[in-house]
Chain A
Amino acid sequence: MRVITSALETIGGITILSGRVARMMLRGGINLRLLLEQMVLLGVNSIPIAVIVLSFAGAVFTFVLAEELASRGAGSLVGGLQLLVFLQEMIPVFSGIVMAGKIGAAITSEIGTMKISEQLDALRALSTDPDWYLTVPRVLAGIIMMPVVAVFAGYGSWFAGYAMAHNQIGLRYSQFASAVDSLVSMHDFRMCFVKCMIFGATIVLVSCHSGYVAQGGAAGVGKAVTNGVVLNIVLIFLLDLLVTMVMG
């Protein structure tokens, strides 16, 4: 019973926070300086780790698939298949998980620490809405920068996949890319970007909410960070399923 109440409280809290943030964004209450700062922190600084993770994923994917397809005379499909699967699933989901671990944890611990050290009250005392100062720029930066991170991560996985295919079955670049036109459409790119934007917003909202409800000192902040990251990962897979079914 307590678990259900707590889950409902969390869902309700995140929904209310989303509503407030959306209202502020529609009213145009965005500080450009804060937004740019967050775009660098959330996006630019996450590109290297996302590229590394997706490059390994691309290499592993090709390693498993290349010889199998080559033995059936379909080696030239490797690149196209990899891009298709990565656009629809791997890039948004893996980038989302990387962002949840790196950015989500950082946001929750920062806001949680601000809460327990009365900095959120200090913001309010200075006539500043914490949502305006902290949440709105982070959410917007998440929505804008997650697709940017995904582009870099996508390139990483593509070239790592090619390097593996070249090494394993001797494919030239033109052969590796030959099936892209027939297997991949603009719809796959759209789906990738839509998922990235939804995941970007979700990760930041969940992380901010986890920070706002943190209580009880350093241990409380640690617990809030864990809860935020776990909830983000579950939500990434749930939303991935929903978006795939809707856009499929």
Chain B
Amino acid sequence: MISFEGVQLSFGSHQVLRDVSFSVTSGQMTAVLGPSGSGKSTILRLIMGLIRPQQGRVIVDGEDVTKMSERRLQRSRRKMGMVFQHNALFDGLNVAENVGFYPTYVEKRPWKQVLPEVEELLEDLGLADSAQKLPGELSGGMRRRVALARSLIYRPKILLYDEPTTGLDPYMTEVVAELIAEMNEKYAVTGVMVSHDLPTVYDIADHVVLIAEGQATVVGHPSELLRSEKPEVIGFASSWRRHIIEYSGEMSKEE
């Protein structure tokens, strides 16, 4: 569904990605882990075609997004949705208008036709009472759900999540993680999630890719984080070891 082939990217003299190659399987959720500043969010931007690499290819649904004109990219992006780290909701539009943005401005459908779909989705996400509120009037968890709804309304094949649970309290983190898992299943999307939040990764990811020192290492299932003998995975996991053991312990107790 998505594959990176020898991707290299620098910002000025700082090389972020040296030689990144990995694939994302269709219909599954892949978590991209890695230390801060390792280029995890850059991976999502490359998939979306918001930035282009200096070398290598990013294939999305059979098309190389690195070589496309902006106009073709606009068409290609119709199969993708992205939930940004800070939500990136449009300040001047209320919740309903934010959620109905794509059908109104891209599909150019009349608002009367769009509104019932928006209301149904807001109902699904527990935001029915907030349709007329502005983003500034919402809590962090509500804003995250609006951002998710804005992407879900056009039923994309691929959903990209940039730190979907960052900045949320533990309860809201759990709610959002459950929501992501539920929506992925309901709408059968291929997901790529950048996260620091290991419990969420354990909960909803099928695969883990580790980005460290500009390279990607395919870890496999999240449980492989502790078992892997790859030096870069051991290096990353050691700093998270306590959290991973604690959480995988809790998981096995629950199981």
Given contact pairs A119-B90, A119-B91, A121-B50, A126 touches B101 in the complex (Cβ within 8 A): yes
Taking a contact as CB atoms closer than 8 A, the residue among B48, B75, B92 that contacts A125 in the complex is: B48
Decide: A129 and B86 in contact? CB cutoff 8 A. Answer: no
Decide: B70 and A118 in contact? CB cutoff 8 A. Answer: no
Segment of B15-23, B77-85, B238-246 engaged in the interface with chain A: B77-85
Interface size of B as a range = 20 to 34
Q: B157 CB to closest chain A CB, in angstroms? A: 14
Given contact pairs A117-B88, A118-B88, A119-B90, A127 touches B106 in the complex (Cβ within 8 A): yes
Residues of B near any A CB (own CB < 8 A):
45, 48, 50, 70, 74-75, 77-78, 80-82, 84-86, 88-92, 101-102, 105-106, 150
A-B pairs with lowest CB-CB distance, top 5? A122-B88, A118-B88, A125-B82, A127-B74, A127-B77
Decide: A125 and B74 in contact? CB cutoff 8 A. Answer: no
Q: A155 at interface (Cβ–Cβ under 8 A)? A: no
Decide: A126 and B102 in contact? CB cutoff 8 A. Answer: yes
- Residues of chain A lying within 8 A (CB to CB) of residue B77: 124-127
Decide: A128 and B106 in contact? CB cutoff 8 A. Answer: yes
Decide: B105 and A125 in contact? CB cutoff 8 A. Answer: no
Q: B235 CB to closest chain A CB, in angstroms? A: 30
Q: A168 at interface (Cβ–Cβ under 8 A)? A: no
Main secondary structure of the interface of A (DSSP, over half): helix
Decide: A133 and B105 in contact? CB cutoff 8 A. Answer: yes
Given contact pairs A119-B91, A122-B90, A127 touches B75 in the complex (Cβ within 8 A): yes
Interface size of A as a range = 10 to 19
26 contacts between A and B (CB under 8 A): A31-B105, A113-B91, A114-B90, A114-B91, A117-B91, A118-B84, A118-B85, A118-B88, A119-B90, A121-B45, A121-B50, A121-B84, A122-B82, A122-B90, A124-B48, A125-B77, A125-B80, A125-B81, A126-B102, A126-B105, A126-B106, A127-B78, A127-B102, A128-B106, A129-B74, A133-B105
Give the docked Cα–Cα distance between A125 and B102 (Å).
10
Give the docked Cα–Cα distance between A126 and B49 (Å).
12
- Residues of chain B lying within 8 A (CB to CB) of residue A128: 74, 101, 105-106
Q: B215 CB to closest chain A CB, in angstroms? A: 25
- Residues of chain A lying within 8 A (CB to CB) of residue B74: 124, 127-129
Q: A123 CB to closest chain B CB, in angstroms? A: 8
- Residues of chain A lying within 8 A (CB to CB) of residue B82: 122, 125
Q: B94 CB to closest chain A CB, in angstroms? A: 14
